[in-house]
Amino acid sequence: MREPRGIRADESTDRPTVENLRDCLVRVLPLLPENPKAELFKSGVIDSLSLIEVVVALEETFSITFKPQDMSVQNFSTLEQILGTVNRIRSRNKV
């Protein structure tokens, strides 16, 4: 599997970490909270326009493609949720 551009995955699992995700997203979300459980939509960190930038950054960085069913508010509500979504998509692409 191709290593995400400029982001090193956890070598023991070959999966991106919260730190990897933060490195990717801080470029498009400069007010990204440190707490990976912080609500991103409720706090105004992500809105409908910045969500598109988030998706593009994730697709380019982690070499993934979001499908329509991946595009739910729940999948982007916290850093932990985004990380789970990225890892699910990467797993789906391995098959």
Select the more confidently predicted residue: 20 or 95. 20
Closest by CA to 66, choosing from 89, 83, 48, 88, is: 89
Q: State percent of the chain over pLDDT 70.
A: 84
Closest by CA to 16, choosing from 94, 95, 82, is: 82
pLDDT of 44-86, one tens digit each?
999 999 999 999 999 999 999 999 999 999 999 999 999 999 9
Measured distance CA(19)–CA(47) in Å, rounded: 22
pLDDT at residue 93 in the model? 80
Contact in structure between 82 and 90 (CB atoms under 8 Å): no
Residue 36 has a CB neighbour count (10 Å cut-off) of 17
Q: Residue 95 — very low, low, confident or very high, per pLDDT cuts 50/70/90?
A: low
pLDDT at residue 94 in the model? 78
The whole-model pTM stands at 0.84
